[in-house]
Amino acid sequence: MALLDRLPRHLFTQRGWGMLAAGAAALAAAYVMGRRDLLSLAMLLFVLPLVSLAGIRLVKPRFQVYREFNPSPVETSAPTAVRLAVARTGAATGRATMEERLPPRFGESPAFRFPSRSASGGTSRYEYHLRSAQRGQFVMGPVTAEFTDPFGLSLHRQAIDHGDTLTVTPAAVVLPLTGLAGARGNDGVTATRIRANPSDDDVMTREYRHGDPMRRVHWAATARHGELMVRQEESVTTPEATIILDHRFGAFSGGPGSAPTGNAAQDGHTMVSSETFEWAVVAAMSISAHLAERNYALRLLDARGEPAFLRSPSAPEPELEEYSGASGLQSIAESLAAIQLTGPHHLRAEAARREFFGARESHGHQEAGPPPFDDNLMDKLSAHRMRGPVIAVLGRISALEALSLAPAAGYGTNAFAIVVAERPAEFEDALEKLRQGGWRAAAVSPGVSVAAAWNQFDQEPDVPEPPASEVRRGAGVAR
């Protein structure tokens, strides 16, 4: 029995191996004793397992698999139920042992028998639960089925589907209330009501046109102008917030001589990230949820003014940069699920680029696209000038880069910058340049909670914000 356990299980069952062993013994006895009947028995014992092996590979049972995640996508550390429905589509019968292949981070793969005891209509249903402490996209499956021939002699294992992708989004942290909305008030609803119900002193009027209802006539304005005037319908606007999410490799590399760590393999590749970048992702998700709950429309950009999720493999619409409502927040969460660090993955190249900021290398590891915090970003911000706050979630930033970003504060009703780094004290010069430009800026380590970092912005800035008229586009950018 111990010898049978050492034999490969993917070809024959123990019964099949036993029959082959009996065939070998019969063949030896036929040779020693010269008995033809033993030779015939030996041939039968050899041929039957081999014919079974060939038959089970030529006539394979066919299955259909339907997989459902509930909820999908799921937040980090939250459980999700995986429901499987497996149906046999061929005419073959018999039992099979099935296994759902899972990424190693989810532990042991669940196994089950087909058909199940509760099978109905030829379909067996199964359920198991998963939980991931890390964001990303993970392939669940495929389901592999191991089945035998009708005689139970040979085995065959095959994948019966291609698996499905489970998206795990970063969970938002509840943030404290801060006075971030500037002239618009503390939430979008209040601002909308003010604009939707103007007083008689600031109401917009125009000349009466044929077909205008008489109930819209503004009699005070009619008396002033000496002609019939009607109330001008003013469109109700939604407050907007711009979030700048830095995801440059060099900004989250942790310092000279170190490199970001790769998350667990997903679909055969490693997601490039780091502890500081994971903090930034949670911060971006939390800020987005905080503002969306207050009826803000959101616009997410990267450090170069491009859509923040242009290179995220999990983004439903990578080129989209404006989001609103619950569906927009869900799209942001999915886009953040697999976002990773981008740009040159060599710190020497990044250091050289920073030293000659604004210049392009003619060879080596060149970073595509415009330099960070340049006119491209300023153009995007100026297109939505003073419509709401500008919030930047940044990694390691040099004083020169901070000087380039500083004028962006003039394009928002308020400007907030969070720099996350392992050694926050090293970035005081950069923070001072941001504050001089009108930003409320703070540097934190990844050990500080996102809520605590956000709460720092409820304090008055050290330097008064400059008037918007004094902001010159592209000011402070080194050439």
pLDDT value of position 180: 63
Parallel, antiparallel, or unpaired: how do β-strands 143-148 and 96-100 relate? Answer: antiparallel
Report the range of poorest mean pLDDT among 356-360, 412-416, 457-461: 356-360
pLDDT value of position 162: 93
- The first and second tokens of residue 463, run together, are 């330097």
Torsion sign (Cα): 171, 176, 177, 181: negative
**Running DSSP on this structure, what letter comes out for residue 156?**
E
What's the pLDDT tens digit per position in 165-192?
999 999 999 999 876 644 344 444 444 4
Report the range of poorest mean pLDDT among 85-99, 174-188, 210-224, 343-357: 343-357
**Contact status, residue 474 vs residue 411, Cβ threshold 8 Å:** no
Number of neighbours of residue 319 by Cβ within 10 angstroms = 9
- The first and second tokens of residue 131, run together, are 């939980």
- What's the gap between Cα 165 and its chain centre? 12
Instruction: Give percent above pLDDT 90 in the chain.
Output: 48
CA-wise closest residue to 405 among 232, 204, 246, 268: 246
The band of 146, judged by pLDDT with boundaries at 50, 70 and 90, is confident
Q: Quick check: 466 pLDDT over 70?
A: no
Taking residues 243-272, report their average pLDDT.
67
Better-scored residue on pLDDT, 332 or 36: 332
Taking residues 315-337, report their average pLDDT.
96
Enumerate residues 6+ apart whose C-beta is below 8 A from 94: 61, 147, 148, 150
- pTM of the predicted structure, to 2 decimals: 0.75
pLDDT value of position 38: 85
pLDDT value of position 10: 65
Task: Output the average pLDDT for the chain.
Answer: 80
Q: Quick check: 59 pLDDT over 50?
A: yes
CA distance 244 to 237: 22
- The first and second tokens of residue 375, run together, are 């006119």
**Measured torsion, CA atoms of residues 451, 453, 455, 460, in degrees rounded to the nearest 10:** -170
The band of 70, judged by pLDDT with boundaries at 50, 70 and 90, is very high
Q: Which ranges in 166-264 belong to alpha helices (H)?
A: 188-196, 219-225
Enumerate residues 6+ apart whose C-beta is below 8 A from 268: none
Q: For residue 323, what is the enclosing H or E element?
A: strand 322-323
CA-wise closest residue to 388 among 172, 235, 185: 185
Better-scored residue on pLDDT, 303 or 193: 303
The band of 391, judged by pLDDT with boundaries at 50, 70 and 90, is very high
